[in-house]
């Protein structure tokens, strides 16, 4: 809740007590906010619902948040600019707007609500709140409650619709700005980027890798592995691992592994005169 200080007698006042104090104090021509020290002559204090945060107030010189001045340059903080409003602050602004456009039948009640900071946003709680805060009791009071809530709901709906329209208008301009930014960006790739990209592709591509052996080397290693194996036979998977270890073939990427399997199969098929494939078993002919 925002508290104010009477500029005449220096008495600290709650927002909803300012009018009553001004009627008694002859020196009360203006009040100042306790938090930001901004002075509000007459009834301008009603529009002041929030200012600096508690962190900025107590941390002072070590505060790391944003410090923005108002347009007058007096050093007072901007209200609701550069930060997102909380739901309660947005509701308070709606009440302020509703009070200005309220019909004469509920104008006095709306002015009282505008001076309160803890007005509920839901209808059921709002009706209970008005019983004590606005002294609306009895059967006749229900009609007044209905009129007040209906007026608040209409103002809130109008503000929501206006906000949606503003966002719709901003979207095309934001999209065009985004497109123009993309057009301004250079499309050509620098020589350094191109070379680094080629190096990466060379590392990932097993066909261009110098570590991938020729078919002749693979065939020689296959025959050597089968000669050492029992009955001169090995499972295709075991043969592949044995030859890979003997030739020190690196297959870290998926593409390299696929290329190596393909190369080994081609080599076995090409040497069908000396190699026999029976299902998953590869044997060396005598």
CA proximity to 219, closest of 157, 266, 254 = 266
- What pLDDT, in 10s, does the model give residues 133-164? 888 888 788 889 899 999 999 999 998 888 88
pLDDT-wise least confident of 165-179, 235-249, 265-279:
165-179
Q: What is the pLDDT of residue 209?
A: 47
Whole-structure pTM value: 0.40
Helix (H, G, I), strand (E, B) or coil at 275: strand
* pLDDT given for residue 153 in this prediction: 92
Question: CA-CA distances (angstroms) from residue 25 to 18, 43, 189?
Answer: 10, 15, 75
Cα 29 versus chain centre, distance: 46
> How many angstroms separate the CA atoms of 35 and 166, rounded?
33
Q: Is the pLDDT score of 77 beyond 60?
A: no
pLDDT reported for residue 199: 55
Judge contact between 282 and 239, C-beta under 8 A: yes
Predicted local distance difference test score (pLDDT) of residue 189? 52
Alpha carbon 74 to its chain centroid, in Å, reads 34
| Residues sharing a CB contact under 8 Å with residue 23, sequence separation 6 or more, in sequence order | none
State whether residue 109 is helix, strand or coil: helix
């Amino acid at each position: 809740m925002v508290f104010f200080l009477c500029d005449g007698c220096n008495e600290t006042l709650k927002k909803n007590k300012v009018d009553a104090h001004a009627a008694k104090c002859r020196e009360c021509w203006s009040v100042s906010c306790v938090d930001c020290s901004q002075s509000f002559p007459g009834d301008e204090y009603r529009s002041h619902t929030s200012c600096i945060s508690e962190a900025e107030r107590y941390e002072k010189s070590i505060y790391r948040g944003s410090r923005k001045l108002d347009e007058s340059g007096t050093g007072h903080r901007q209200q609701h600019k550069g930060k997102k409003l909380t739901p309660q602050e947005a509701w308070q602004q709606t009440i302020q707007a509703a009070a200005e456009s309220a019909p004469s039948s509920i104008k006095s009640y709306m002015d009282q609500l505008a001076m309160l900071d803890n007005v509920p946003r839901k209808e059921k709680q709002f009706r209970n709140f008005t019983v004590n805060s606005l002294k609306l009791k009895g059967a006749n009071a229900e009609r007044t409650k209905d009129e007040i809530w209906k007026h608040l709901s209409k103002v809130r709906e109008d503000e929501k619709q206006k906000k949606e329209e503003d966002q719709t208008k901003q979207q095309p301009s934001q999209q065009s700005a985004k497109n123009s930014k993309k057009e301004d960006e250079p499309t050509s790739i620098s020589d350094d980027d191109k070379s680094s990209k080629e190096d990466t592709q060379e590392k990932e591509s097993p066909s261009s890798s110098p570590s991938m052996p020729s078919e002749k080397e693979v065939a020689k290693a296959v025959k050597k592995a089968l000669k050492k194996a029992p009955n001169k036979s090995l499972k295709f998977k075991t043969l592949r691992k044995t030859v890979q270890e003997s030739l020190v073939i690196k297959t870290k990427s998926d593409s390299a592994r696929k290329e190596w399997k393909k190369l080994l199969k081609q080599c076995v098929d090409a040497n069908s005169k000396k190699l026999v494939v029976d299902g998953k078993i590869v044997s060396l002919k005598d």
